[in-house]
Amino acid sequence: MRLFLTNIGGYLLSRENNFLVAIHNRVGELPFLLLSLGIGIVLGLRLIPYSTDLMTNSAAGLTEKYLGKKQRTLVINSTTNLPELFLMLLALGLGRLGGIATPLGSNFANIYLMFGLAPIIVISKWLIKGRKSRIRRLFNLLKQEKNLVIWHFLLSGTMLIFSSLGCWAITGIFPGINMLENRLIRTDFFLVIGALICVIGVGIYFFFERELKRKRPEIFEEIEDETFDSSWRKFVMGTAGVIVACYVLNLLFMAFTQLYEPLLKSYFGAAMFTYLHYFIGSLISSLPETTVAVENYQRLTASDLNTALASATVSNMSNLAIAGMGSILGSLFILWGQAMEF
């Protein structure tokens, strides 16, 4: 497994094989920056959301078919985390622990996207269309389900705390506090601690989710399913699209760390690749969750409100699980003698 990931990742993502660097050398600075911006827009607003939507809808339909409706909320919001997973795995295949920062950073992005941006998008759309009655219904629903809203906000915030602690254990850096400090590679001991922190956070989530399902089973069952499609073909197609997008995004991060090292070091210190994943990779990979949240806020039912809010809560839990897995893999790579860096 280690040899496979090292060889594949080393070939696909090495500086020598990064076609974006070659493009920069051919076309020059400004055209390359414009091209990079265009690639980011296409990946973030089109390819990743569309591919993830295929996966999510198919996974929800397959879950209902084989496991029942009650598990769909978990599956809907967990599959939106596959961009974080693939971004991390491709980075680990390169021998870069920095990819673990994507799921950890997404826990912060999910909170301001799902609790802030998504409702603003919904309300703005209704204002433009003159549907003020729907805005009133949304506020009434939020008031009626304020305990549910508070539950999701507090639990997603708790997941953020665990992800910040995990980020320290894995990288030696608290996000936004001591970014400019140069840190040596973390040992397998600290990586294991990071994995344990993530596992504890996941356990806390499932404890509280079990209690919510016991008290409010209807909000997990009465989910509108008109868009769900139990198609293995579409699930595979969506997965392939996300993998391609994550591959290109990692290429872009690698190119920037090579081409703009002095500038990036002035902002992020030595862990440039790590913080490109933490701030930019996490934002792009969190856009599919935002789409899920917007769609479900608009349906104006308690069950769909729960799904919208779970775009932050379940996703944050899933990100902890992904980061924990990445920490274990990174620890194993180090124990096997594989050179790892940020």
C-beta atoms surrounding 130 within 10 Å: 8
Give domain status of residue 209, yes or no: yes
Give domain status of residue 340, yes or no: no
Domain, as residue range, for 316? 2-335
* Per-residue pLDDT at 339: 59
Query: pLDDT: is 187 or 111 the higher one?
Result: 111
Reported as a pLDDT band with limits 50, 70 and 90, residue 234 is confident
Residue 257 reports pLDDT greater than 80: yes
Reported as a pLDDT band with limits 50, 70 and 90, residue 118 is very high
Residue 104 reports pLDDT greater than 70: yes
Q: What's the average model confidence in pLDDT over 47-55?
A: 83
Domain count, the chain: 1
Q: How much of the chain, in percent, has pLDDT values that exceed 90? A: 15
Reported as a pLDDT band with limits 50, 70 and 90, residue 221 is low
Reported as a pLDDT band with limits 50, 70 and 90, residue 4 is very low
Give DSSP secondary structure letters for 148-198. HHHHHHHHHHHHHHHHHHHHHHHHS--TTTSTTS--PPPPHHHHHHHHHHH
Give domain status of residue 22, yes or no: yes
Give domain status of residue 341, yes or no: no
- Residue from 166, 6, 168, 170 nearest 92 by CA: 6
pLDDT (tens digit, 9 = 90+) per residue, 161-204?
A: 998 888 887 777 676 665 545 454 556 677 888 889 999 999 99
Give domain status of residue 342, yes or no: no
**What is the spatial distance between Cα 60 and Cα 224, in angstroms, rounded to a whole number?**
11
Q: What's the average model confidence in pLDDT over 82-106?
A: 83
Lowest mean pLDDT of 78-87, 119-128, 209-218, name the range.
Answer: 78-87
Query: pLDDT: is 285 or 297 the higher one?
Result: 297
Lowest mean pLDDT of 201-210, 273-282, 316-325, name the range.
Answer: 273-282
- Residue from 76, 77, 320 nearest 205 by CA: 320
Query: pLDDT: is 52 or 10 the higher one?
Result: 52
* Per-residue pLDDT at 137: 93
Give domain status of residue 152, yes or no: yes
**What is the spatial distance between Cα 176 and Cα 198, in angstroms, rounded to a whole number?**
20
Residue 5 reports pLDDT greater than 60: no
Angle at 306 between CA 303 and CA 307, to 5 degrees: 90
What's the mean per-residue pLDDT of the chain? Answer: 80
* Per-residue pLDDT at 223: 58
Lowest mean pLDDT of 45-54, 55-64, 216-225, 281-290, name the range.
Answer: 216-225
* Per-residue pLDDT at 156: 92
* Per-residue pLDDT at 22: 82
**What is the spatial distance between Cα 246 and Cα 324, in angstroms, rounded to a whole number?**
19
* Per-residue pLDDT at 158: 93
Reported as a pLDDT band with limits 50, 70 and 90, residue 6 is very low
**What is the spatial distance between Cα 321 and Cα 200, in angstroms, rounded to a whole number?**
10
Phi then psi for residue 301, to 5 deg, are -125, 160
